[in-house]
Amino acid sequence: MTSLNLSKRDAYEDKFGQMIAKRLSGSTDSIPHDISERLKAARMQALSKRKVVKPQLASGTSVRGGVLSLHMGDNDRSLWNRIASLLPLLALIAGLVAIAVVAEDDRVKELADIDAQLLTDELPPDAYTDPGFAQFLRTNPRD
């Protein structure tokens, strides 16, 4: 049903385009010769400067899971393309390593702070391992 509507629409567009072309061509007889020559020269100049588009053909196709994909360009990848495709992976690895180093450094600093507090406290370190001291802390919480 939609293809029928599209073909009708295409037919109407073609007819409309032909009517416009006919109307424009009908008025060319009334243009003076020098203006028509200038228009012809401008048309030739525009055609000489236009970009020629070379269509690029797909080098291959593949179907996976009902999806068709086209492979464009050469399968031969240059060294720079390979390096450029590895850069995001290298950046990700460097970021993960930096995060791990910073996290480990923070953990070491926290442990060092705890050790410094234990060693500078009024109680000897052996008191913290005494079962009676643990019971004392449970029954008499600090303010």
In a domain, 31, yes or no: yes
Same structural domain, 46 and 85: no
Same structural domain, 91 and 142: yes
pTM for the whole thing?
A: 0.37
pLDDT of residue 27: 73
pLDDT of residue 102: 97
In a domain, 59, yes or no: no
φ, ψ of residue 71 to 5 degrees: the values are: -105, 115
- Average pLDDT score over the chain: 81
Q: Give the residue numbers spanning the domain of 94.
A: 79-143
Please give the tally of structural domains in the chain.
2
Among 12-16, 36-40, 99-103, 132-136, which stretch is predicted with the lowest mean pLDDT? 132-136
> Which of 111, 110, 136 shows the shortest CA–CA distance to 123?
136
pLDDT of residue 78: 77
Strands 67-71 and 60-64: antiparallel
Same structural domain, 83 and 45: no
- Interior/surface letters 84-98, b for 16+ CB within 10 angstroms, e for the rest: eeeeeeeeeeeeeee
Q: Does 143 have pLDDT greater than 60?
A: no
Same structural domain, 88 and 126: yes
In a domain, 72, yes or no: no
User: What percentage of the chain carries pLDDT values higher than 90?
Assistant: 20
pLDDT in tens, 30-87: 788 888 888 889 888 988 888 877 776 766 777 788 887 776 665 556 788 888 889 9
| Residue 98: band (very low, low, confident or very high) from pLDDT cuts 50, 70, 90 | very high
CA 23 to chain CA centroid, Å, is 48
Same structural domain, 6 and 44: yes
In a domain, 123, yes or no: yes
Same structural domain, 84 and 24: no
In a domain, 61, yes or no: no
Token representation of residue 142: 């600090």
Asked if residue 119 lies in contact with residue 125, where contact means CB atoms within 8 angstroms, the answer is yes
In a domain, 60, yes or no: no
User: What percentage of the chain carries pLDDT values higher than 70?
Assistant: 86
SS3 62: strand
Q: Does 109 have pLDDT greater than 60?
A: yes
Same structural domain, 36 and 86: no
Averaged pLDDT for residues 93-122: 90
In a domain, 88, yes or no: yes
pLDDT of residue 75: 55
